[in-house]
Protein backbone atom coordinates (compact mmCIF):
# COMPACT_ATOMS: atom_id res chain seq x y z
CA UNK A 1 0.00 0.00 0.00
CA UNK A 2 1.34 3.41 -0.91
CA UNK A 3 1.76 5.72 2.06
CA UNK A 4 1.98 9.46 1.82
CA UNK A 5 5.14 11.14 3.02
CA UNK A 6 3.43 12.48 6.15
CA UNK A 7 2.57 8.93 7.20
CA UNK A 8 6.15 7.83 6.60
CA UNK A 9 7.39 10.72 8.73
CA UNK A 10 4.95 9.78 11.49
CA UNK A 11 6.25 6.20 11.42
CA UNK A 12 9.84 7.26 11.93
CA UNK A 13 10.90 7.06 15.61
CA UNK A 14 12.07 10.67 15.58
CA UNK A 15 8.54 11.88 14.98
CA UNK A 16 6.39 8.97 16.13
CA UNK A 17 3.60 9.85 18.54
CA UNK A 18 3.40 13.46 17.45
CA UNK A 19 0.01 14.87 16.42
CA UNK A 20 -0.89 14.06 12.82
CA UNK A 21 -0.83 17.70 11.77
CA UNK A 22 2.74 18.03 13.04
CA UNK A 23 3.87 15.02 11.02
CA UNK A 24 2.07 16.51 8.03
CA UNK A 25 3.96 19.77 8.51
CA UNK A 26 7.26 17.88 8.42
CA UNK A 27 5.98 15.77 5.55
CA UNK A 28 5.34 18.94 3.59
CA UNK A 29 9.09 19.56 3.62
CA UNK A 30 10.05 15.95 2.86
CA UNK A 31 10.74 13.58 0.04
CA UNK A 32 11.73 9.95 -0.25
CA UNK A 33 15.27 9.41 -1.44
CA UNK A 34 17.40 6.42 -2.38
CA UNK A 35 21.13 6.68 -1.86
CA UNK A 36 23.55 4.28 -3.52
CA UNK A 37 26.33 2.51 -1.68
CA UNK A 38 29.34 4.78 -1.25
CA UNK A 39 27.44 7.99 -2.01
CA UNK A 40 27.85 10.89 0.43
CA UNK A 41 24.72 12.18 2.14
CA UNK A 42 26.66 14.89 3.94
CA UNK A 43 29.97 16.36 2.88
CA UNK A 44 32.16 18.21 5.36
CA UNK A 45 32.15 21.97 4.78
CA UNK A 46 29.24 21.91 2.35
CA UNK A 47 25.94 23.68 3.10
CA UNK A 48 23.71 21.71 5.47
CA UNK A 49 20.36 21.57 3.73
CA UNK A 50 18.70 18.31 4.85
CA UNK A 51 17.78 16.19 7.80
CA UNK A 52 17.80 12.52 6.82
CA UNK A 53 15.43 10.10 8.53
CA UNK A 54 16.87 6.67 7.75
CA UNK A 55 14.41 3.92 6.84
CA UNK A 56 16.72 1.30 5.34
CA UNK A 57 20.45 0.76 5.26
CA UNK A 58 23.35 2.11 7.28
CA UNK A 59 25.37 5.28 7.04
CA UNK A 60 28.88 5.90 8.38
CA UNK A 61 29.70 9.26 9.88
CA UNK A 62 33.30 9.90 8.88
CA UNK A 63 36.21 12.29 9.00
CA UNK A 64 38.47 12.13 5.99
CA UNK A 65 42.20 12.59 5.98
CA UNK A 66 44.49 12.75 2.93
CA UNK A 67 46.20 9.48 2.14
CA UNK A 68 44.27 7.47 4.73
CA UNK A 69 41.02 5.64 4.87
CA UNK A 70 38.31 7.76 6.50
CA UNK A 71 38.06 7.62 10.26
CA UNK A 72 34.63 6.31 11.22
CA UNK A 73 33.05 8.20 14.12
CA UNK A 74 29.66 6.58 14.22
CA UNK A 75 27.36 4.29 12.32
CA UNK A 76 23.72 5.21 11.95
CA UNK A 77 20.95 2.85 10.90
CA UNK A 78 17.25 2.50 10.23
CA UNK A 79 15.07 4.41 12.65
CA UNK A 80 17.79 6.94 13.35
CA UNK A 81 18.42 10.37 11.88
CA UNK A 82 21.54 11.95 10.46
CA UNK A 83 22.38 15.60 9.88
CA UNK A 84 22.00 18.26 12.56
CA UNK A 85 24.15 21.13 11.33
CA UNK A 86 21.22 22.70 9.46
CA UNK A 87 19.81 23.82 12.80
CA UNK A 88 22.29 26.55 13.60
CA UNK A 89 24.55 28.92 11.64
CA UNK A 90 26.78 28.60 9.71
CA UNK A 91 24.63 25.70 8.40
CA UNK A 92 27.55 23.64 7.14
CA UNK A 93 28.20 19.94 7.64
CA UNK A 94 30.90 19.12 10.16
CA UNK A 95 31.45 15.54 8.95
CA UNK A 96 30.95 13.29 5.97
CA UNK A 97 28.15 10.75 6.01
CA UNK A 98 28.53 7.87 3.56
CA UNK A 99 26.03 5.18 2.60
CA UNK A 100 27.53 1.80 3.53
CA UNK A 101 24.83 -0.01 1.56
CA UNK A 102 21.75 1.06 -0.40
CA UNK A 103 19.96 3.53 1.86
CA UNK A 104 16.33 4.50 1.84
CA UNK A 105 15.59 7.73 3.71
CA UNK A 106 13.23 10.62 4.09
CA UNK A 107 15.09 13.78 3.21
CA UNK A 108 13.62 16.76 5.07
CA UNK A 109 14.39 20.14 3.53
CA UNK A 110 16.07 22.17 6.26
CA UNK A 111 15.17 25.64 4.98
CA UNK A 112 11.53 24.60 4.78
CA UNK A 113 11.59 23.05 8.26
CA UNK A 114 13.27 26.08 9.86
CA UNK A 115 10.80 28.43 8.16
CA UNK A 116 7.83 26.47 9.50
CA UNK A 117 9.36 26.37 12.98
CA UNK A 118 9.88 30.16 12.90
CA UNK A 119 6.32 30.92 11.84
CA UNK A 120 4.71 28.35 14.14
CA UNK A 121 6.47 28.46 17.51
CA UNK A 122 4.36 25.61 18.94
CA UNK A 123 5.51 23.38 16.08
CA UNK A 124 9.04 24.71 16.46
CA UNK A 125 9.04 23.85 20.16
CA UNK A 126 7.79 20.30 19.52
CA UNK A 127 10.39 19.88 16.81
CA UNK A 128 13.21 21.18 18.98
CA UNK A 129 12.19 18.93 21.91
CA UNK A 130 12.39 15.86 19.64
CA UNK A 131 15.69 16.89 18.09
CA UNK A 132 17.22 17.95 21.41
CA UNK A 133 16.33 14.58 22.99
CA UNK A 134 18.18 12.72 20.24
CA UNK A 135 21.13 15.08 20.43
CA UNK A 136 21.27 14.66 24.22
CA UNK A 137 21.33 10.86 23.82
CA UNK A 138 24.15 11.16 21.29
CA UNK A 139 26.07 13.61 23.47
CA UNK A 140 25.81 11.37 26.53
CA UNK A 141 26.79 8.28 24.56
CA UNK A 142 29.78 10.16 23.16
CA UNK A 143 30.83 11.34 26.60
CA UNK A 144 30.71 7.80 27.95
CA UNK A 145 32.80 6.66 24.98
CA UNK A 146 35.35 9.31 25.95
CA UNK A 147 35.67 7.69 29.38
CA UNK A 148 37.32 4.67 27.73
CA UNK A 149 35.62 2.55 30.39
CA UNK A 150 36.83 -0.82 29.14
CA UNK A 151 40.46 0.14 29.61
CA UNK A 152 40.15 0.80 33.34
CA UNK A 153 41.64 -2.07 35.27
CA UNK A 154 43.33 -2.22 38.64
CA UNK A 155 46.88 -3.52 38.32
CA UNK A 156 47.51 -6.96 39.84
CA UNK B 1 48.11 -38.32 71.21
CA UNK B 2 48.34 -34.65 72.01
CA UNK B 3 45.51 -32.25 71.17
CA UNK B 4 47.44 -30.53 68.33
CA UNK B 5 48.10 -33.80 66.61
CA UNK B 6 44.44 -34.78 66.96
CA UNK B 7 43.36 -31.52 65.39
CA UNK B 8 45.77 -31.95 62.50
CA UNK B 9 44.52 -35.45 61.88
CA UNK B 10 40.97 -34.22 61.79
CA UNK B 11 41.63 -31.25 59.56
CA UNK B 12 44.05 -32.74 57.06
CA UNK B 13 41.54 -34.62 54.90
CA UNK B 14 39.76 -31.34 54.14
CA UNK B 15 41.23 -28.94 51.61
CA UNK B 16 42.68 -25.97 53.39
CA UNK B 17 41.11 -22.96 51.66
CA UNK B 18 44.38 -21.08 51.93
CA UNK B 19 46.54 -23.77 50.36
CA UNK B 20 46.74 -23.75 46.59
CA UNK B 21 46.39 -26.97 44.65
CA UNK B 22 48.85 -27.33 41.81
CA UNK B 23 47.45 -27.26 38.29
CA UNK B 24 49.27 -27.57 35.00
CA UNK B 25 48.72 -25.22 32.09
CA UNK B 26 47.63 -27.61 29.33
CA UNK B 27 46.67 -24.96 26.78
CA UNK B 28 47.09 -21.25 26.37
CA UNK B 29 44.91 -19.24 24.03
CA UNK B 30 45.62 -15.59 23.26
CA UNK B 31 42.21 -13.89 23.11
CA UNK B 32 43.44 -10.37 22.37
CA UNK B 33 46.73 -8.48 22.68
CA UNK B 34 46.62 -8.54 26.48
CA UNK B 35 44.07 -11.24 27.33
CA UNK B 36 44.94 -14.91 27.60
CA UNK B 37 42.82 -17.94 28.48
CA UNK B 38 44.64 -20.63 30.42
CA UNK B 39 43.33 -24.20 30.39
CA UNK B 40 44.26 -25.91 33.63
CA UNK B 41 44.28 -29.52 34.80
CA UNK B 42 45.31 -30.81 38.22
CA UNK B 43 48.88 -32.07 38.32
CA UNK B 44 47.56 -35.25 39.91
CA UNK B 45 44.15 -36.82 40.23
CA UNK B 46 40.76 -35.50 39.22
CA UNK B 47 39.80 -31.87 39.65
CA UNK B 48 39.15 -31.37 43.36
CA UNK B 49 36.41 -28.79 42.89
CA UNK B 50 33.16 -28.14 41.11
CA UNK B 51 31.93 -24.62 40.49
CA UNK B 52 29.03 -22.51 39.33
CA UNK B 53 29.16 -19.78 36.66
CA UNK B 54 30.30 -16.49 38.14
CA UNK B 55 32.56 -17.91 40.84
CA UNK B 56 36.27 -17.22 40.91
CA UNK B 57 39.51 -18.91 41.88
CA UNK B 58 42.66 -17.49 43.36
CA UNK B 59 45.44 -18.28 40.89
CA UNK B 60 49.03 -18.32 42.09
CA UNK B 61 52.01 -17.62 39.95
CA UNK B 62 54.60 -19.15 42.25
CA UNK B 63 57.20 -16.65 43.34
CA UNK B 64 55.20 -13.74 42.02
CA UNK B 65 51.85 -13.64 43.77
CA UNK B 66 48.21 -14.57 43.81
CA UNK B 67 45.24 -12.95 42.10
CA UNK B 68 41.49 -13.53 41.86
CA UNK B 69 40.47 -14.72 38.39
CA UNK B 70 36.99 -15.69 37.27
CA UNK B 71 36.41 -19.14 35.92
CA UNK B 72 35.55 -18.63 32.26
CA UNK B 73 34.51 -22.13 31.25
CA UNK B 74 31.08 -23.61 31.83
CA UNK B 75 30.48 -25.96 34.73
CA UNK B 76 30.38 -29.56 33.66
CA UNK B 77 32.04 -28.74 30.35
CA UNK B 78 34.40 -31.48 29.26
CA UNK B 79 38.10 -30.83 29.43
CA UNK B 80 40.18 -28.54 31.54
CA UNK B 81 38.86 -25.65 33.56
CA UNK B 82 39.53 -22.28 31.96
CA UNK B 83 40.50 -18.94 33.40
CA UNK B 84 40.81 -15.79 31.35
CA UNK B 85 43.42 -13.29 32.50
CA UNK B 86 44.10 -9.73 31.41
CA UNK B 87 47.70 -8.60 31.64
CA UNK B 88 47.47 -5.53 33.86
CA UNK B 89 50.26 -6.03 36.41
CA UNK B 90 53.09 -8.23 37.60
CA UNK B 91 51.00 -11.22 38.70
CA UNK B 92 48.64 -11.23 35.74
CA UNK B 93 51.61 -10.72 33.40
CA UNK B 94 53.26 -13.78 34.87
CA UNK B 95 50.06 -15.79 34.43
CA UNK B 96 49.45 -14.50 30.91
CA UNK B 97 52.94 -15.55 29.87
CA UNK B 98 52.81 -18.93 31.64
CA UNK B 99 53.96 -21.53 29.15
CA UNK B 100 52.06 -24.71 28.39
CA UNK B 101 53.35 -27.31 30.82
CA UNK B 102 54.08 -24.85 33.59
CA UNK B 103 52.44 -25.18 37.00
CA UNK B 104 50.24 -22.63 38.74
CA UNK B 105 48.40 -22.73 42.05
CA UNK B 106 44.61 -22.76 42.32
CA UNK B 107 42.48 -22.02 45.38
CA UNK B 108 38.73 -22.01 45.24
CA UNK B 109 36.16 -21.78 43.90
CA UNK B 110 34.99 -18.82 45.92
CA UNK B 111 32.07 -16.47 46.03
CA UNK B 112 28.53 -16.27 44.80
CA UNK B 113 27.39 -17.25 41.32
CA UNK B 114 24.99 -15.92 38.67
CA UNK B 115 22.22 -18.30 39.78
CA UNK B 116 21.49 -19.45 36.24
CA UNK B 117 19.60 -22.56 37.34
CA UNK B 118 16.55 -20.49 38.17
CA UNK B 119 16.17 -18.79 34.78
CA UNK B 120 14.45 -21.49 32.70
CA UNK B 121 11.40 -19.46 31.72
CA UNK B 122 13.09 -16.07 31.84
CA UNK B 123 14.59 -13.96 29.11
CA UNK B 124 18.17 -13.33 30.13
CA UNK B 125 19.88 -10.14 29.00
CA UNK B 126 23.62 -10.42 29.45
CA UNK B 127 25.67 -7.25 29.17
CA UNK B 128 29.45 -7.48 29.17
CA UNK B 129 32.08 -4.79 28.83
CA UNK B 130 35.67 -5.60 27.92
CA UNK B 131 37.12 -8.48 29.92
CA UNK B 132 33.76 -8.61 31.74
CA UNK B 133 32.65 -11.24 29.24
CA UNK B 134 34.98 -13.77 30.90
CA UNK B 135 32.97 -14.22 34.15
CA UNK B 136 29.80 -14.44 32.06
CA UNK B 137 31.10 -16.88 29.46
CA UNK B 138 30.31 -19.99 31.48
CA UNK B 139 26.83 -18.69 32.31
CA UNK B 140 26.07 -17.94 28.66
CA UNK B 141 27.24 -21.35 27.48
CA UNK B 142 25.23 -22.99 30.24
CA UNK B 143 22.05 -21.07 29.31
CA UNK B 144 22.47 -21.56 25.56
CA UNK B 145 23.18 -25.27 25.91
CA UNK B 146 20.60 -26.10 28.57
CA UNK B 147 17.77 -28.21 27.11
CA UNK B 148 14.20 -27.23 27.90
CA UNK B 149 14.80 -23.54 28.46
CA UNK B 150 11.96 -21.41 27.09
CA UNK B 151 13.38 -17.94 27.67
CA UNK B 152 15.63 -16.20 25.16
CA UNK B 153 19.24 -15.26 25.72
CA UNK B 154 20.55 -11.85 24.64
CA UNK B 155 24.29 -11.24 24.71
CA UNK B 156 25.39 -7.63 24.41
CA UNK B 157 29.11 -7.02 24.32
CA UNK B 158 31.08 -3.78 24.32
CA UNK B 159 34.78 -3.46 23.62
CA UNK B 160 37.10 -0.56 23.11
CA UNK B 161 38.30 -1.66 19.67
CA UNK B 162 37.43 -4.53 17.33
CA UNK B 163 40.67 -6.37 18.12
CA UNK B 164 39.81 -6.30 21.83
CA UNK B 165 36.66 -8.37 21.45
CA UNK B 166 37.16 -11.52 23.46
CA UNK B 167 35.81 -14.98 22.63
CA UNK B 168 34.77 -14.25 19.02
CA UNK B 169 34.30 -17.95 18.31
CA UNK B 170 31.97 -18.29 21.29
CA UNK B 171 29.96 -15.26 20.16
CA UNK B 172 29.41 -16.93 16.78
CA UNK B 173 28.55 -20.25 18.41
CA UNK B 174 26.03 -18.71 20.82
CA UNK B 175 24.34 -16.88 17.96
CA UNK B 176 24.23 -20.08 15.90
CA UNK B 177 22.65 -21.84 18.87
CA UNK B 178 19.84 -19.33 19.26
CA UNK B 179 21.11 -16.42 21.33
CA UNK B 180 20.75 -12.85 20.11
CA UNK B 181 24.32 -11.56 20.04
CA UNK B 182 25.26 -7.94 19.45
CA UNK B 183 28.68 -6.37 19.69
CA UNK B 184 29.66 -2.73 19.72
CA UNK B 185 33.01 -0.95 19.87
CA UNK B 186 34.01 2.52 21.01
CA UNK B 187 36.71 3.02 18.42
CA UNK B 188 36.06 1.29 15.07
CA UNK B 189 38.62 0.60 12.40
CA UNK B 190 38.05 0.55 8.67
CA UNK B 191 37.08 -3.14 8.72
CA UNK B 192 34.46 -2.80 11.42
CA UNK B 193 30.88 -3.07 10.19
CA UNK B 194 29.18 -3.52 13.52
CA UNK B 195 27.70 -1.05 15.97
CA UNK B 196 29.68 1.86 17.38
CA UNK B 197 29.24 3.24 20.87
CA UNK B 198 29.15 2.10 24.46
CA UNK B 199 27.39 -1.17 25.20
CA UNK B 200 24.40 0.63 26.73
CA UNK B 201 23.44 1.86 23.26
CA UNK B 202 22.61 -1.75 22.33
CA UNK B 203 19.88 -2.07 24.95
CA UNK B 204 17.12 -0.31 23.00
CA UNK B 205 17.94 -2.41 19.92
CA UNK B 206 16.82 -5.73 21.41
CA UNK B 207 13.24 -6.86 21.68
CA UNK B 208 12.69 -8.39 25.10
CA UNK B 209 9.96 -8.49 27.70
CA UNK B 210 11.26 -6.53 30.72
CA UNK B 211 8.66 -8.08 33.02
CA UNK B 212 10.11 -11.58 32.57
CA UNK B 213 13.74 -10.61 32.18
CA UNK B 214 16.76 -11.21 34.33
CA UNK B 215 19.87 -9.17 33.50
CA UNK B 216 23.44 -10.21 34.23
CA UNK B 217 25.97 -7.41 33.94
CA UNK B 218 29.73 -7.49 34.20
CA UNK B 219 32.34 -4.93 33.28
CA UNK B 220 33.86 -1.76 34.62
CA UNK B 221 31.69 -0.30 37.38
CA UNK B 222 30.95 2.89 35.47
CA UNK B 223 29.69 0.79 32.59
CA UNK B 224 27.59 -1.32 34.95
CA UNK B 225 26.00 1.76 36.52
CA UNK B 226 25.00 3.14 33.14
CA UNK B 227 23.81 -0.28 32.02
CA UNK B 228 21.62 -0.69 35.09
CA UNK B 229 20.07 2.73 34.43
CA UNK B 230 19.42 1.74 30.82
CA UNK B 231 17.80 -1.53 31.89
CA UNK B 232 15.62 0.18 34.48
CA UNK B 233 14.58 2.81 31.92
CA UNK B 234 13.42 -0.05 29.69
CA UNK B 235 11.32 -1.49 32.51
CA UNK B 236 13.54 -4.16 34.06
CA UNK B 237 13.05 -4.38 37.82
CA UNK B 238 16.11 -3.45 39.86
CA UNK B 239 15.77 -6.73 41.76
CA UNK B 240 16.08 -8.65 38.48
CA UNK B 241 19.52 -7.27 37.74
CA UNK B 242 22.72 -8.95 38.92
CA UNK B 243 26.19 -7.52 38.68
CA UNK B 244 29.65 -8.89 39.37
CA UNK B 245 31.97 -6.66 41.34
CA UNK B 246 35.72 -6.77 41.62
CA UNK B 247 37.90 -5.58 44.44
CA UNK B 248 41.31 -6.49 45.79
CA UNK B 249 40.49 -10.06 46.77
CA UNK B 250 43.31 -11.73 48.65
CA UNK B 251 42.10 -14.51 50.95
CA UNK B 252 38.92 -15.36 49.03
CA UNK B 253 37.02 -16.38 52.15
CA UNK B 254 36.23 -13.17 53.98
CA UNK B 255 39.05 -13.33 56.49
CA UNK B 256 41.44 -10.59 55.46
CA UNK B 257 39.08 -7.72 54.65
CA UNK B 258 41.07 -6.42 51.68
CA UNK B 259 38.01 -6.55 49.43
CA UNK B 260 35.70 -4.74 51.81
CA UNK B 261 33.12 -2.45 50.27
CA UNK B 262 31.10 -0.84 53.05
CA UNK B 263 29.42 -3.69 54.92
CA UNK B 264 30.29 -6.21 52.18
CA UNK B 265 33.24 -8.45 51.63
CA UNK B 266 33.26 -8.96 47.88
CA UNK B 267 35.00 -12.33 47.99
CA UNK B 268 32.51 -13.78 50.45
CA UNK B 269 29.27 -11.88 49.83
CA UNK B 270 29.94 -11.53 46.09
CA UNK B 271 31.31 -11.21 43.52
CA UNK B 272 27.79 -11.58 42.09
CA UNK B 273 25.22 -9.36 43.76
CA UNK B 274 21.57 -8.63 43.23
CA UNK B 275 21.52 -4.97 42.30
CA UNK B 276 19.83 -2.67 44.77
CA UNK B 277 19.68 0.97 45.70
CA UNK B 278 22.03 0.19 48.59
CA UNK B 279 24.55 -1.45 46.28
CA UNK B 280 24.34 1.45 43.87
CA UNK B 281 25.09 3.82 46.72
CA UNK B 282 28.18 1.78 47.60
CA UNK B 283 29.61 1.73 44.09
CA UNK B 284 28.70 5.34 43.43
CA UNK B 285 30.36 6.72 46.55
CA UNK B 286 32.37 9.82 45.75
CA UNK B 287 35.98 10.04 46.83
CA UNK B 288 36.37 13.04 49.14
CATH code for the domain of B32: 2.40.30.10
Query: By the 8 A CB rule, do B75 and B49 touch?
Result: no
| Claim to verify: residue B206 and residue B232 sit in the same structural domain | yes
More confident residue, B191 or A116: A116
- Gap between the terminal Cα atoms of chain B: 57
A&B contacts, CB < 8 Å:
70
pLDDT-derived band at B190 (thresholds 50, 70, 90) equals confident
Q: Of all residues in chain B, what percent carry a pLDDT higher than 70?
A: 94
| CA-based nearest distance A77→chain B, Å | 9
Which of B167, B241, B230 is closest to B202 using CA atoms? Answer: B230
The predicted-structure confidence for B109-166, as pLDDT tens digits, reads as follows 999 999 998 888 899 999 999 999 999 999 999 999 988 888 899 999 999 999 999 9
Q: What pLDDT shows up at residue A137?
A: 87
Could you say which of B244, B260, B275 is where a domain stops? B244
| Claim to verify: residue B98 and residue B130 sit in the same structural domain | no
Chain B environment of A145 (Cβ under 8 Å):
186, 197-198
Residue B175 lies inside a defined structural domain of this protein: yes
Number of domains comprising chain B: 2
The predicted-structure confidence for B199-257, as pLDDT tens digits, reads as follows 999 999 999 999 999 999 999 888 999 999 999 999 999 999 999 998 888 888 888 88
| CA-based nearest distance B72→chain A, Å | 18
The predicted-structure confidence for B48-102, as pLDDT tens digits, reads as follows 678 999 999 999 999 999 999 999 999 887 789 999 999 999 999 999 999 999 9
Q: Give the C-alpha separation, A70 to A44, whole Å.
A: 12
The predicted-structure confidence for A28-86, as pLDDT tens digits, reads as follows 999 999 999 999 999 999 999 999 999 999 999 999 888 888 888 889 999 999 999 99
Query: By the 8 A CB rule, do B210 and B234 touch?
Result: yes
With a cut of 70, say whether residue B8 has pLDDT above it. Answer: no
With a cut of 50, say whether residue B9 has pLDDT above it. Answer: no
Q: Give the C-alpha separation, B164 to B228, whole Å.
A: 23
What is chain B's mean pLDDT, rounded? 89
Pick from B189, B192, B198: CB nearest A141: B198
Query: By the 8 A CB rule, do B160 and A148 touch?
Result: yes
Residue in chain A lying closest to B247 (CA) = A154
Go through the domains of chain A in sequence order and give each one's CATH number. Answer: 5-151 (2.60.120.10)
Q: Give the C-alpha separation, A135 to B32, whole Å.
A: 34
| CA-based nearest distance B248→chain A, Å | 9
Q: What pLDDT shows up at residue B280?
A: 83
Q: What is the mean pLDDT of residues A135-139?
A: 89
Q: Which residues pair with B66 in a beta bridge?
A: B60
The predicted-structure confidence for B16-53, as pLDDT tens digits, reads as follows 888 899 999 999 999 998 999 999 999 987 776 789 99
With a cut of 50, say whether residue B3 has pLDDT above it. Answer: no
In this structure, how many other beta carbons lie within 10 angstroms of the beta carbon of residue B9?
10
Please state the pTM of the whole predicted model: 0.85
* Domain span holding position B239: 116-244
pLDDT-derived band at A20 (thresholds 50, 70, 90) equals confident
| Claim to verify: residue B59 and residue B151 sit in the same structural domain | no
Per-residue DSSP letter, B4: H
Q: What pLDDT shows up at residue B165?
A: 94
Amino acid sequence: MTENIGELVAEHPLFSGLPVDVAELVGGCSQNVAIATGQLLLEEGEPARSLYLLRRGHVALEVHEPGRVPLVIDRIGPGQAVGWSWMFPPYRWHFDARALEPVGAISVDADCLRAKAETDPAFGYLLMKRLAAVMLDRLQATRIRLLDVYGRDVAH
Amino acid sequence: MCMDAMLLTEVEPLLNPLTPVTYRVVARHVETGDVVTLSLEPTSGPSPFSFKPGQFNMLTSFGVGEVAISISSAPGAPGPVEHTVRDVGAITHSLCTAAVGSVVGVRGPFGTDWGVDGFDDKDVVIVAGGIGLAPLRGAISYLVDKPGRTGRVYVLVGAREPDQITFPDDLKRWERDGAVVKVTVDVPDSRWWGAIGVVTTLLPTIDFDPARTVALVCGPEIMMRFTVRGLVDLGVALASIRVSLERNMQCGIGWCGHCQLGPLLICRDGPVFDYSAALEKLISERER
